[in-house]
Structure 1
Amino acid sequence: MKPTARGALAAVMTGVVAVGAAAVAPAVAADTVPVPVPLNGVEQSLGVKAPKVAGELPLPLPGRLEGPRYVEGRTIPDRAVPQVPLSGGLPGADVRTPLPHMVGDGFEHLGLSAPAADLWTLTPGVSLDGALGAPDPDHLGLPGLKQHQAAVLAPLVRAVPTANLEMGSGA
């Protein structure tokens, strides 16, 4: 094989590998999706410094479902409608706006940074039990009667959001 053909083949293979790696990497590593807010047109048309605004939207991920549990003495399994865990995050924001300096020609800035925070939730569930109990040997094996039981399992939400407010010199 000629050296030029080898070089062309190597270039094609490198391009194929680079495209394949670029297609796989974002799908695996993406926890949040950045959301930029373009305000460059405002800066150019009005001739003033515009604020810089950006955000992050988290991707929710379903967790492992905990199915019904069979309990002795109950006719219907515990947690008949199971709770579904979801994990994701709260959206984040980064806002930075220039403030005119009162004493000199420079600018100061006011910034608010609220990064995306982890969020873990558990959907509501239902636990039911029927009116028939377990077979009773004292009544020839017939089940005894008991009161109906129904319970709604409360949803859970767990998150620790944070924010940072700053004011300083620089644009």
Structure 2
Amino acid sequence: MKSTTRGTLAAVVTCVAAAVATPAVAADGVPVAVPLNGVEHSLDMEMPKVGGTVPLIKPGSPDGPRYVEGRLLPDRAVPQVPFSSDMPSLDLRTPLPRVLGESFDHLTATTAASDLHAVTPGASLDAPLTAPRADALGLPAPKLPEAGLLAPVLQAAPEASLGLAPGL
């Protein structure tokens, strides 16, 4: 096989692989279904239907250090990193004994995929020395060290529904 043929074949394989991988990367979540069909057929009874999505986490750009006049170390020495994702969704339908009459024989529970925003904790530190002072011939003076923790943040608005319904 010639080197030009091999190069063309490698380019085609690379393009196909990129075209196949792109939709998976662009998705917000991975659908998951729990396969209970085999148990349903082997036990000859109706099994719950369980499915949902597992979200993909997308990191943001960290809020970097900020230089402050009069400090030796920058503010926010350990930066906070934001993350965004969806909440996992769930769809559950399970059979119930006919306790509530003939029209209600299934319980449904669903959660919607809502937005989730989080920020990791960070730290702000300062050295136990002041900035160089002109009145002390450029030497720093001792001071108490400073340390602070930047609290993590979590924002979400989860929602769920629970209901009774006939049939699957």
Name the TM-score class by shorter chain: 0.7 to 0.9
Secondary structure, aligned partner of 2:131: strand
Which ranges of structure 2 fall in alignment gaps of 5 or more residues? Answer: 1-12
Offset of residue 24 of structure 1: 4.9
TM-score by length of 1: 0.77
Q: Is the 8 A contact 1:98 1:107 kept in 2?
A: no
Secondary structure, aligned partner of 2:65: coil
Which residue in the other structure is 2:161 paired with?
A: 164
Superposition RMSD in Å: 2.3
C-alpha spacing 1:81/1:142, structure 2 compared with 1 (3 Å):
same
Which residue in the other structure is 1:136 paired with?
A: 133
Which residue in the other structure is 1:34 paired with?
A: 31
Bigger Rg, structure 1 or 2: 1
Q: Percent identity?
A: 56
Secondary structure, aligned partner of 1:116: coil
Q: Is the 8 A contact 1:90 1:117 kept in 2?
A: yes
Which residue in the other structure is 1:119 paired with?
A: 116
C-alpha spacing 1:22/1:42, structure 2 compared with 1 (3 Å):
farther
TM-score by length of 2: 0.79
Alignment of 1:79-98 (within 5 A): 79-98=76-95
Structure 2 residue 16 is matched with structure 1 residue 23: no
Equivalent residue letter for 1:75? L
C-alpha spacing 1:30/1:136, structure 2 compared with 1 (3 Å):
same
Equivalent residue letter for 1:80? A
Equivalent residue letter for 2:69? E
C-alpha spacing 1:107/1:40, structure 2 compared with 1 (3 Å):
farther
C-alpha spacing 1:39/1:107, structure 2 compared with 1 (3 Å):
farther
Residue among 45, 51, 54 paired with 1:54: 51
| Greater share of strand | 1
Which residue in the other structure is 2:9 paired with?
A: none
